[in-house]
Every structure is written in C-alpha cells, then in structure tokens.
Amino acid sequence: MKGFKFAGICAGIKKNRSMDLGLIYSEKPACAAALFTQNQVVAAPVILGRKTMEKGMLQAILVNSGNANCFTGAQGIAHAEQCVELVAKALKIDPEHVLVSSTGVIGAPLPMDKIEAKIPEAVRSLDSCTIVDFAGAILTTDTCTKMVSRNGKINTSGDEKSFTIMGVAKGSGMIRPDMATMLSYIFTDADISSSLLKQALTHAASRSFNRITVDGDTSTNDTLVCMANGAGQAVIDNDESFGVFQAALDEVCYELAKKIVKDGEGATKVAGITVKGALTSKDAFKAAEAIAHSPLVKTALYGQDPNWGRITAAAGRSGVTVDQDKMDLYFDDVLLVQNGQWQGEDVEKKAADIMKQNEISIVLDLNLGDGQDQFLFCDFSENYVKINADYRS
C-alpha cells in the first residue's frame, strides 16, 4: 500500500528459529487509533501503548512474537521503552510515534540483546520485505497468516476518489471477545482524522473481534491498531464518505476475526450462533455469548452432533429471560426444535448432515422480543489440549 513498508525477520526469540520480529513503517506520521485488552493483567507494551496512543499519531510499530513481556514488572516497561527508542533511532523518527507490541509466553523477560541486535536489520529489510513477511513474523500457535484487503470509492463533487484498507492479524488461542482478543494491525491510505478513525475502529471491533471466541480466555496483550497516512486520494470528512469507509473497515475486521476463529487452536469447524427474539439486544448478546463459550456445545460441534439440549441449556443459564416452550432452533435451514419441542429423528438426521460441514449456522429464536446478536466460535478437539499442554516446552 502507498506510503507503508513492512518487514519480518528472525531475531532468535522463538526456539524454532522462525520469524519473530515484525516492523511497520509509514513514510510520514499517520493518524492512528487503537483498542487494547480489557484484562486487568496487562503486558508492558499495552501499558506503554495506551500512553502512546493518547496523541493519536503513529509512524512505526514493532512487534515481537515468542515473548509476551507480561508480568515482567519495571524491567518489562524499561524493555518496551528501550524498543521504542531503538526503533526511533534506527528510523530517525519521533519516539512518541512508535508503538510496540509483544505476544507469546507470559512471565519471561524480553531477550533485549537479540532484539537490539536485529532492529537495524528489520529497518534495512523494509525495502525488500512485504506485508506477508510481517504477517508471518507475528504468529505464535497460528497455523497460517491472516490478511484481508478491501478497496472503496468516494464521490466528491462528481469526482470519484479511491482508498484501500489492509489488515493483518494473529490469533489462534486465548481468544475471547473483550475488545479485540488478538493482535491486529490495519492500514489505510485514506485521509481521516484520529477521532473519526477511533469512532470507526470501535464500531468495527464491536461487530467483529468482540463477537468471537475460541476458548473463552482474554489475552493480556490484545491490541488492535489502525493507521491512516492520507497518501491516497480519498478524504473522509462527511457522513457519506464516513459511511463508505466504515462499511469497508467493518468488512476487513469481520473477515480477520473469522480467520482467527477458523485457525483456532485445534479447530476443525466454525459456527455462527445468532440469537434473535430476545427481550433486548443485551439479552441476545448474553445468550449468544453463553452458547459460544460452552465447552459442551463446542465438543458437540466437533463430534458433529446437533445436541440441541446443550444449546438451549446454555441460553437458559445465561441470565437472560427465556421461555423453553417458545424456543425455535435452526441448524442452517433445518428447524430441529419448534416451540421447545424436538421435531423427530428424520429432522435430526438432516441437522446431523449439516454438522458435517466446515462452516455451520445456528439460529436460536427466543420468540420474546426484537433483540438480536451473534457470535462466531469454533469447536474443541483433542488437539486444543495437546497444543496448550505443550505450549511452554
């Protein structure tokens, strides 16, 4: 994308000697907005990043994988600050315009000798690497890179101007909707203020990253950042242009969120649960959240079992008002439960066939009101246990 450069190299942080240090550079300071984890246990780069983002401007982001720099005390803050200074010096930019992120094992200090030695190489690599290299350098237990790009067009006094939004994310485990459960970096060449960008990013996250779950755990390092360098033609400065930009950003964030769920640790299937007919939208959210988090629902999904009792029971314990005699439950277009009554073996066989698909849509209609919300989630397999049992070894 015009005005942005990327790098991804190996600094020796990970034991397997794969790429583990990524760098994003904007050729000029960019308007920026960010959202961070709501976990009360936070990593040093999040503590520092919250202060950095107060002014709404960024020019570079350094990301290391393999080490979370969390529960590292004053030393961790000092290491994060040192990373900022090293990047700023190497790029000859203002340290106030540098953000750092970390992901990986909690509790170990950053290997600053390795990072300090490799930052100059990362800066040199900006001229030869691509966004693919950066996307690979930020992964942990992910099995694939996650990238999405969308173009948009804005009409200004009969003159059509275009813009591009690109997004990169990492996330596979420790995924629970509570801001943006992962690391994600989004870039656009549109000209938009930091305040409007924050508004757009907050909305996009609320309908995407805040509506996904893999295992119900909120990370200590969650970071979602968007940079707008204004290097393109489009200016976002009115309701019409903002609406076009918002729609494109919503799509980028949703597709990135879906890629995270599909790549959930040990996952074999993705399901969307929509709860409608709730008394309020808040009730619909809580019921959908309870279903998406349920280990019993997730293991039934893995077993290709349309175990409707687990789904309705999860809604019933969510704390919202339900009436079991009014519930309708669909698997795709198959109505398995109507007015709280199972529709028989023939219908269940159709639902079981749907459960064999890689992507499944489930709709629970409470038939009590107009509230509606939805979540994306994945199944639980044996591999989830294996991956996390061996994570630190």
DSSP collapsed to 3 states, 328-357: EEEECCEEEEECCEECCHHHHHHHHHHCCC
Please state, as a whole number, how many other Cβ atoms lie within 10 Å of the Cβ of residue 196: 19
141 is catalytic: no
Query: Which of 72, 181, 188, 223 is the catalytic position?
Result: 181
Query: In sequence order, which residues have a C-beta less than 8 Å from that of residue 346 and are 6 or more positions away?
Result: none
Between the CA of residue 320 and those of 242, 284, 314, what are the distances in Å? 35, 8, 11
Question: Whose structure tokens read 């950095």?
Answer: 52
CA separation for the pair 253, 180 (Å, rounded): 10
Q: Which residues pair with 360 in a beta bridge?
A: 271
Phi, then psi, of 189 in degrees rounded to 5: -95, 5
What angle (nearest 5°) sits at the alpha carbon of residue 93, between those of residues 116 and 19? 40
Q: Which residues are catalytic?
A: 181
